[in-house]
Structure 1
Amino acid sequence: MNKMTDFVDGQGATLSRVADFALNLTPRDVPAPVIERAALLMLDTLGICIASGPMQAGVLAREATVKLYGSGDPDHGAQMLFDGRQVSLAGAVYAAATQTDNLDGHDGFNPVKGHVGVVTVPTLAVLAQKMPGLSGPDALAALVTGYEIAGRAGMALHATVADYHTSGAWNALGVAAMAARLRGHSRETLREAFGIAEFHGPRSQMMREIASPTMLHDGSGWGALAGMSAAILAESGFTGAPAITVEGTGAATHWADLGQVWQTLVQYIKPYPVCRWAHAPIDAARELALEHGVTHDQIENVIIRSFANAIALYPGMPDTTSKAQYSLAFSVAAMLVRRQIGLEQIAGDGLSDPAVAKLVAQTRLEVSDEHEALFPAHRTADVDLVLTDGRVLKSGLTHARGGAERPFGEAEIVEKFMGFAAPVLGDARAGAIRDACLGLTADGSLFASLGQHLADPV
């Protein structure tokens, strides 16, 4: 086995760049559109965190957190989001990230085939409980730090290992960076935290979860737990450097544009709480049906062509919410029958709709070389609807809505938030969170104006 020095950059230039960005970035250093986008991404993620709270996975995650991840030190404790019970800092971010992950409606980043906001938003909300004077712009700059560092850590990891690991394997570094910034760590402490977070970040294999969908989802709960634990360990003197995704000899290229190219701007927004890989086929089928006024009982067959990972999604009629969220034929059929995909379609009676089951049985899935060549930079598909009258409606190549190719504006993101949050919290509390979150971009605002709405139980 090679010595560590054989594959670590001995110059430390990349670490210096990353540490300076993480610890010293000010709101003035961040372009206004990036700050504004960060506020919208936080609002979107909070909506999914709220809606996922009553789900079985969310309840189980919080109960396990109380049992396993409490804190005997008030300085290292926090209230779980939308629950109120006091646990450790690491437990609070674990619980929120785990439940958010299990609704699967949160933002994502195409190049890493994974998710950042699911851990960075809880990290900010949890740590800010100890920072009543944190300004809105400073809070959003911290959130941007998490997005920018986690995404590049993910790109570095995917470029250097053979397996496709879940987001928790790399988004842990974004959590560690945010904690270092908000808790006043030194460059040396941040370096140790990166090393601990990377070492303990869950190298879980994503395609195993795709093949057999469960509540494990994208590993982000464990990524949040590892990242926050790493930060607390490092500030206590525990060592763990170096992180190969930051200091490895091949890592520098992934960090070269830090502070120049803003990955925060190109996170996609999900309109549906199912795997992003299914979104392009869903949108293609939806738009065909709307354009031609087709109802599900007019459809004889559905043919879906997409990239190989999308075609590998669960092909049949799911019997659990987890399977429904990692489904392809079911998700498309649910859209064609119900004209929407929300919580009702992926749980309860939505899993046994006979009209959806019939359409699932009439669906054919095909890997397309054209779509495969575009993945992972793009999520594309095309769909044919073969009708009972003999007509064949063809969508052509379709990009998933909510990404850089077909972005959502503020109004659409706010509408999505209210659609997920208001049924759980009520219009008044959901509206207060919306207004406070969007108000964080203003000079003189305080994160506490939002934070006061985030801990009380639903």
Structure 2
Amino acid sequence: MDPVDFIHDFALADAPAALRSRLPVMLLDLIGVGIGGAETPLSALIRGHAASQFGGDVPLFLDGRTASPVGAALAAGMTIDALDGHDGFNPSKGHIGCPLFAALLPFARGRSGQDLLAAMAMGYEFGARTAMAQHGTVPDYHTSGSWGAVTAAAGVARLLRLNRDQTRHALGIAEYHGPRSQMMRCIDHPTMVKDGSGWGAMAGVSAALLARDGFTGAPALTVEKAPDFWADLGQRWYGLEQYFKPYPVCRWAQPPIEALLSLRRAHALTSRDVTRIEVESFHEATRLATAEPQTTEEAQYSTSFPCAVALVHGTVGPAHLTSAALHDPETLRLSRTLAFRESAHANRAFPVKRFARVTLHLADGRSLVSDWHEPRWDHDAPPTGSELRNKFRTLAVPGLGADRAAAIEAAVDGLIDGPADDLLTLLAQPISR
């Protein structure tokens, strides 16, 4: 199917039943991560920036103030990305849902819930192929915001009901102006710029609005000049090949967390039993090397610190990655001991598979070696709907309270038969703190 035609002609009924049934919990997962992200300094800064610098009447995600559509998309994308716990796509080494949902939010009011779900479903298919086309034709490793901008433009073009010519220009403008930012720079030097998703959402929204007004920019090369990546559109459903995150840290850090936790459980270890940690993994994961993070961004883009957290607490959650938790003496002791070894086995499998193996050196002189582990909740072993709902509640209830969290969950479940406005009204209200 032609990609531009797919943007407008796709109907929710075209998707397989498995994808249709998963869409609400996929959306709920993005919202839950956004609620957790709204508690971070990054989110507070970007929401304030959008409100002051992008004047308009679109409600800001979880804020109470308003901005223009481009400002609202920027703030929502960066708020979700502020907590690195949202869904992702292995072949792209990045995230489709975050820039897509952030871009759709300013245009979903007055639409049916099915309109929003269909735009999300279309966007996952479009975004997966745009991402693979870019990574397959460009040597540099750019952030999700780069191809996320094209995906965002596609979603907004659908909701705005642009014609075919306008849509082509929207995609081209978004590709040209999208943030081709350097992902590994942020891995080596973690800051608030992160994965570029908010900037990509903003660029995609701007591109669609410009194209509606007659601005030109076609073609998008990743869409119109990379046919091999689009041949199975409408046949293979990449929305069913997204991974989810049990922990709000970089996906690359999650295989060693699982390996470490397997040893912790099998041998009934406490953190005090461990003197040193060794991790074997792929090259990119070894560059997540911040042992003593000073910010939540540095903690999320680290392997050593989350591994230490997991050994101390038995899990990794938002509360372990900010504020006083960054200075916990036992966590820092273990984090400082972690040593990396690059593995040829893990390198060969990356990015489709992410492997890690852990060795724990114990105070009694023993060394325990794990099996090779992958992250939990990959697309071929996905979480259940109940697990994703529990994740949402864990993230949402502390910031919103149980009643509002339950109302959001019910509004998401009601999208298939009702309007989007009930959900949007709940998401426009500020977090309680």
Instruction: Please give the range of the TM-score, normalised by the shorter of the 2 chains.
Output: over 0.9
Q: 191, 204, 225: which one pairs with 2:181?
A: 204
Contact kept? 2:103, 2:202, Cα under 8 Å: no
Q: Quick check: 1:114 aligned with 2:87?
A: no
2:137 aligned partner? 160
Structure 2 counterpart of 1:128, one-letter code: A
1:65 aligned partner? 50
Of the structure 1 ranges 115-124 and 229-238, higher mean CA displacement relative to structure 2 is found in 115-124
Contact kept? 2:50, 2:75, Cα under 8 Å: yes
SS of corresponding position for 2:339: strand
In structure 1, the gaps of 5 or more residues are 1-15, 72-76
SS of corresponding position for 1:293: coil
Contact kept? 1:189, 1:235, Cα under 8 Å: yes
SS of corresponding position for 1:305: strand
- Per-residue CA deviations over 1:45-102 (Å, capped at 9, x if unaligned) read 000111111311101101111222223xxxxx41111112221111111101011111
Matches within 5 A, 1:1-80: 17-71=2-56, 77-80=57-60
Counting matched residue pairs gives 431
Q: Quick check: 1:81 aligned with 2:61?
A: yes
SS of corresponding position for 1:452: helix
2:80 aligned partner? 100
Q: Quick check: 1:188 aligned with 2:165?
A: yes
Contact kept? 1:191, 1:242, Cα under 8 Å: yes
- Per-residue CA deviations over 1:205-257 (Å, capped at 9, x if unaligned) read 00000010000000111100100000000000000011110112xx1111111
- Per-residue CA deviations over 1:17-65 (Å, capped at 9, x if unaligned) read 1111110111211112112222111100000111111311101101111
Q: Quick check: 1:242 aligned with 2:227?
A: no
2:395 aligned partner? 420
Q: 1: distance between equivalents of 2:241 and 2:23?
A: 11
Matches within 5 A, 1:151-300: 151-248=128-225, 251-300=226-275
Q: 2: distance between equivalents of 1:291 and 1:103?
A: 30
Q: Quick check: 1:362 aligned with 2:337?
A: yes
Q: 2: distance between equivalents of 1:83 and 1:298?
A: 44
How many percent of aligned residue pairs carry the same amino acid? 44
SS of corresponding position for 1:453: helix
In the TM superposition, what is the alpha-carbon distance from 1:406 to its structure 2 partner? 3.0
Structure 2 counterpart of 1:99, one-letter code: T
Q: 92, 106, 123: which one pairs with 1:126?
A: 106
Contact kept? 2:103, 2:204, Cα under 8 Å: no
Structure 2 counterpart of 1:302, one-letter code: I
In the TM superposition, what is the alpha-carbon distance from 1:440 to its structure 2 partner? 2.5
Q: 1: distance between equivalents of 2:247 and 2:10?
A: 34
- Per-residue CA deviations over 1:140-174 (Å, capped at 9, x if unaligned) read 11101111111211111111111100000001111
- Per-residue CA deviations over 1:276-333 (Å, capped at 9, x if unaligned) read 1000101111121012101111112211000000011124211111111100111101
SS of corresponding position for 1:213: coil
In the TM superposition, what is the alpha-carbon distance from 1:392 to its structure 2 partner? 2.2
Runs of 4 or more off by more than 6 Å in structure 1? none
Q: Quick check: 1:317 aligned with 2:292?
A: yes
1:446 aligned partner? 419
In the TM superposition, what is the alpha-carbon distance from 1:126 to its structure 2 partner? 2.2
Structure 1 counterpart of 2:354, one-letter code: R
1:140 aligned partner? 117
In the TM superposition, what is the alpha-carbon distance from 1:110 to its structure 2 partner? 0.5
In structure 2, the gaps of 5 or more residues are none
Contact kept? 2:123, 2:154, Cα under 8 Å: yes
Structure 2 counterpart of 1:234, one-letter code: A
Contact kept? 1:150, 1:172, Cα under 8 Å: no
Contact kept? 2:144, 2:197, Cα under 8 Å: yes
2:408 aligned partner? 433
Q: 2: distance between equivalents of 1:150 and 1:381?
A: 28
SS of corresponding position for 2:276: strand
Structure 2 counterpart of 1:150, one-letter code: G
Matches within 5 A, 1:333-372: 333-372=308-347
Contact kept? 1:151, 1:171, Cα under 8 Å: no
Q: 1: distance between equivalents of 2:121 and 2:153?
A: 13
Q: 1: distance between equivalents of 2:358 and 2:382?
A: 21
Structure 1 counterpart of 2:266, one-letter code: E
Aligned-residue RMSD, C-alpha = 1.3
Contact kept? 1:35, 1:137, Cα under 8 Å: no
Structure 1 counterpart of 2:309, one-letter code: A
In the TM superposition, what is the alpha-carbon distance from 1:452 to its structure 2 partner? 2.5
Contact kept? 2:290, 2:299, Cα under 8 Å: no
